[in-house]
Chains A and B, each alone.
Chain A
Amino acid sequence: MKRILTSIFLISSLHLFSQGNITGDLMMNVNFFQRDTNIRAAGNQLYDNLLSGGEGWLGLRYSGYGFTGTVRFDAFQNSNLQNPQSALTIAGLGMFSLSKEVNNLTITAGHVYDQIGSGIIFRAYEDRGLLIDNALFGLHLKYKLNNNLTVKAFSGQTKILFERYNPIIKGFAAEGDLDIGKNAHMTPGIGIVNRTMDKNSMDAIVSTVNSYPIEKRFTPVYNSFATTVYNTLNAGDFTWYVEGALKSAEAIATATEGLQKLSGNVIYSTLGFAKSKFGINASFKRTENFVMRSSPNESLLRGIYNWQPIIAQIRPQRLIARYTPPSQDLSEMGGSVSTYITPNDNLNLTFSYTHINTLNNDPLYREAFGEVELRSIKNFIFHVGTQYLIYNQVLYQSKEKALYPTIHALTPFVEVVYKFNEKKSLRTEIQYMNTKQDFGSWAFALFEFNVAPKWSLAMSDMYNITPNKVHVENAHHYPNLFVAYTKGPNRFTAQYVKQVEGINCTGGVCRYEPAFSGFKMGVTSTF
């Protein structure tokens, strides 16, 4: 009987899978830690005792018959990803989700990744570079009422590694999709999110409030509400996005006053105009006390269940990337304007300006940026540009004002790509950052040789050419040797790295990372 049942199961499984589609992806990193006391890559167990570690993710996805099942195995073994100064060892089912579409209703259970609008009131997403994975563990329903209107609702808890925060997140959103005349299209939406705290989290808040002077005590609430209205309008050559969000008063952790009961609001807008040879983009954002965490007892990247768009542009240049400003959720008002002009096929000019203050008008960030792309010389592509920035290190990095005055830095850069033939190319980058603050001035050079589509070899060095003696005793080199081999869907990388301590930003979210010294290997694969 068992054999018969097993046979039936196998046959039905084979039949099922033969009708569906299985895809997946693998990502693995291995780090070998090499002590280097000169750059402060030492003094913790990773460098002193453990010497190696890594992490890996294997995801599998089956889809067929309107059903989708996803499962992901996560493993961290002496990993430095969560806290670059200590080892994390844990493994298990990182996420799973089961989804079925029934007529126009899509039902999903398990770990859900989704967002409302740009993510200001709710965003569940994954960013492996910073080990952010705040999937919502619960139920998610999406119903397409007609071709112009979709509504969705969800309820669950925010994930952290293999655990979940106790507070409950519930939400609802409605999104439209409408044509306005022949040349215009709009996608409006509204959303609401409610977070209900658990008793343990509230006890901790109550305990903190009880420790305040009587005049500063307040009544915390279990429930917070946030609502948003947004719209994208495409009309001819214009694209305009606008979103306004409000949040009810609740206990939030402020920078200097501890917990306070405050309501919040955000307004965010982008406007773009693009013609064949000219384009301009502008963005604006004002944020006041818009902290969205599972509870105010969480700090750093913990417990966040939204995402705030970033006004400043994230630059790929190594030196400029040292001072990328993350979004501020307590107090920020900023705007940026970026324009490009393409007089002909061989010339492209880009200029931009960014201006960000606190709501008290304390300067946070300024950037003036210009870049020229030149393709008129055969087999060469030139990028020449410069950036001037002002960066408030005290507010962005919680540094002591007396030791870390606001950074003023001028960074000219050149990038030259030379194509030997269709497959082989050499890319060279030279950057120089002139600043008297923080670690002082830097020089950076990179040479990258590519043999498409398989090989990429690179060597670079970052040198603290004029160190600021307040923070750096001696100038140090931070070399990097890199090789990547790609064959089909598989990519293998290896690199020797010395990396200066600093802020690592991905997608507008940043964290401090200490110096790294050692060897890294990686494998990625999709199938």
Chain B
Amino acid sequence: MKKILFYITPFALLLFACKEQIPVGLDLNGNTNSIDTTYLATPETPLLKKVCIEESTGNKCTNCPNATLQLEDMISNHPNRIITMAIHHGLEEDIPLQGYFSLENQDAIDLIDFIGQPAGQPAATFDRTVVGGAAMILRGDGGAWNAALTTQLAKVSPINIHLTSSYDAGQDKVNTIVKIACTDTTSSNLMLSLFVIENGLIGAQLDNGVKVPDYVFNHVLRKAITPVIGMPLLNTIVLKEKGRVIQKLISFTPDAIWNKDKCQIVAIVHRNDNGGAIKEVLQVEEVNMK
């Protein structure tokens, strides 16, 4: 027995000796506000599923403008069915003297890590579904993107999202209300992610080998309001039954650098199943910030 104690004691001391620091992002004093309610209501009629396209792009990615044009065509051809978010990273450089201003940020880097690094740029994920072993699909000639979009447009979502946002200039707070209604019973672990995107940013972009000095960047990911991986939705309820409504009021302070008139809030509800391996987006919605 003495021998056992001899071996175990140092091991146990090692494990217990170190004190953990407070996790990053924890707000014990209530600086960010989130008020939740949940209830059962008459089930809503399922809304048409919207497809979430998260684009991996960069200002030094010479083929990316063509990819962006393809996405714009998709949006035109399927009105109110597609929401895109441009994640700037990778071939993204910050050379102010040449007019290149990086739109990369930590949330963009974390989101790409979460979705999965693309094999190259341009690439995009369609509802974060895995195609050919990866969620990020390289554009190539654009055929793979068209196929992925067709697949996702045909799906029916068990989730409706109702999203509103307003800006309180007095308190410099954006108040976002997300109402999530289950139109079918689901046993998936659901996560909600809120992002701020901005349109109309101008800077240099490499386009088919030519520098375009005043390129207009739209749908640019500026910040994740929730953790990039999302926040759990009622993970204590095993089955989110048909008719279940979850409402969240989330308030945050916008960054001063943003043009709030050109900012939008994107709300994504995605699955978190099989230990996080399945991240499929079930529904997505966007609204102007103010």
Looking at the assembled complex, report how far the CB atom of A393 sits from the nearest CB atom of chain B, in whole angstroms.
15
Instruction: Give Cα A64 to B22, complex, Å.
Output: 50
Chain A CB within 8 A of B36 CB: yes
Q: Mark A131-159, 1 if CB is under 8 A from B, else 0.
A: 00000000000000100010100000010
Interface residues on A, range: 35 or more
Contacts of B191 in A (CB 8 A): 204
Chain B CB within 8 A of A4 CB: no
Whether A163 and B274, one on each chain, are in contact in the complex, defined by CB atoms closer than 8 angstroms, is yes
Contacts of A225 in B (CB 8 A): 15-16
B: number of interface residues (CB 8 Å)? 43
Instruction: Give Cα A17 to B95, complex, Å.
Output: 63
Known: A202-B23, A211-B34. A161 touches B226 (CB 8 A): no
Contacts of B16 in A (CB 8 A): 225
Chain A CB within 8 A of B105 CB: no
Comparing A6-14, A105-113, A299-307, A479-487, the segment that makes contact with chain B is A299-307
> Nearest CB to that of A300 among chain B residues?
B238
Instruction: Give Cα A202 to B3, complex, Å.
Output: 37
Instruction: Give Cα A270 to B7, complex, Å.
Output: 30
Known: A166-B275, A219-B22. A203 touches B228 (CB 8 A): yes
Q: B236 touches which one: A194, A217, A222, A253 (CB < 8 A)?
A: A253
Contacts of A70-84 to chain B: CB distance below 8 A: 83
Q: Mark B253-288, 1 if CB is under 8 A from A, else 0.
A: 000000000000000000011111100000000000
Chain B CB within 8 A of A164 CB: yes
> Nearest CB to that of B248 among chain A residues?
A211
Contacts of A217 in B (CB 8 A): 26-28, 30
Q: A214 touches which one: B8, B20, B24, B30 (CB < 8 A)?
A: B30
Whether A297 and B232, one on each chain, are in contact in the complex, defined by CB atoms closer than 8 angstroms, is yes
Whether B28 and A214, one on each chain, are in contact in the complex, defined by CB atoms closer than 8 angstroms, is yes
Whether B26 and A299, one on each chain, are in contact in the complex, defined by CB atoms closer than 8 angstroms, is no
Contacts of A253 in B (CB 8 A): 235-236
Q: B238 touches which one: A151, A204, A218, A299 (CB < 8 A)?
A: A299
Most B CB atoms within 10 A — which of A210, A221, A222?
A210
Whether A219 and B23, one on each chain, are in contact in the complex, defined by CB atoms closer than 8 angstroms, is yes
> Nearest CB to that of A202 among chain B residues?
B23
> Nearest CB to that of B7 among chain A residues?
A151
Known: A192-B8, A208-B231, A210-B34. A163 touches B275 (CB 8 A): yes
Whether B30 and A302, one on each chain, are in contact in the complex, defined by CB atoms closer than 8 angstroms, is no
Chain A CB within 8 A of B189 CB: yes
Whether B236 and A254, one on each chain, are in contact in the complex, defined by CB atoms closer than 8 angstroms, is yes
Instruction: Give Cα A174 to B187, complex, Å.
Output: 40
Whether A223 and B20, one on each chain, are in contact in the complex, defined by CB atoms closer than 8 angstroms, is yes
Chain A CB within 8 A of B42 CB: no
Whether B20 and A174, one on each chain, are in contact in the complex, defined by CB atoms closer than 8 angstroms, is no
Contacts of A85 in B (CB 8 A): 187
Whether A190 and B275, one on each chain, are in contact in the complex, defined by CB atoms closer than 8 angstroms, is no
Whether B226 and A299, one on each chain, are in contact in the complex, defined by CB atoms closer than 8 angstroms, is no
Whether A145 and B3, one on each chain, are in contact in the complex, defined by CB atoms closer than 8 angstroms, is yes
Contacts of A179-226 to chain B: CB distance below 8 A: 190, 192, 194, 200, 202-211, 214, 217-223, 225
Instruction: Give Cα A114 to B114, complex, Å.
Output: 32
Known: A200-B114, A204-B231. A258 touches B11 (CB 8 A): no
Chain A CB within 8 A of B229 CB: yes
Instruction: Give Cα A240 to B22, complex, Å.
Output: 44
Instruction: Give Cα A222 to B23, complex, Å.
Output: 8
Whether B23 and A220, one on each chain, are in contact in the complex, defined by CB atoms closer than 8 angstroms, is yes
Query: Which 8 interchain pairs have the tightest Cβ spacing?
Result: A207-B231, A203-B227, A211-B34, A163-B277, A165-B275, A160-B275, A214-B30, A206-B25
- Told that A161-B274, A207-B232, A211-B231 touch, could you supply 4 new A-B pairs with CB distance under 8 A? A192-B8, A200-B114, A200-B276, A219-B26
User: Chain A residues in contact with chain B, CB under 8 A?
Assistant: 83, 85, 145, 149, 151, 158, 160-161, 163-166, 172, 174, 190, 192, 194, 200, 202-211, 214, 217-223, 225, 253-255, 258-259, 294, 296-300, 302-303, 398
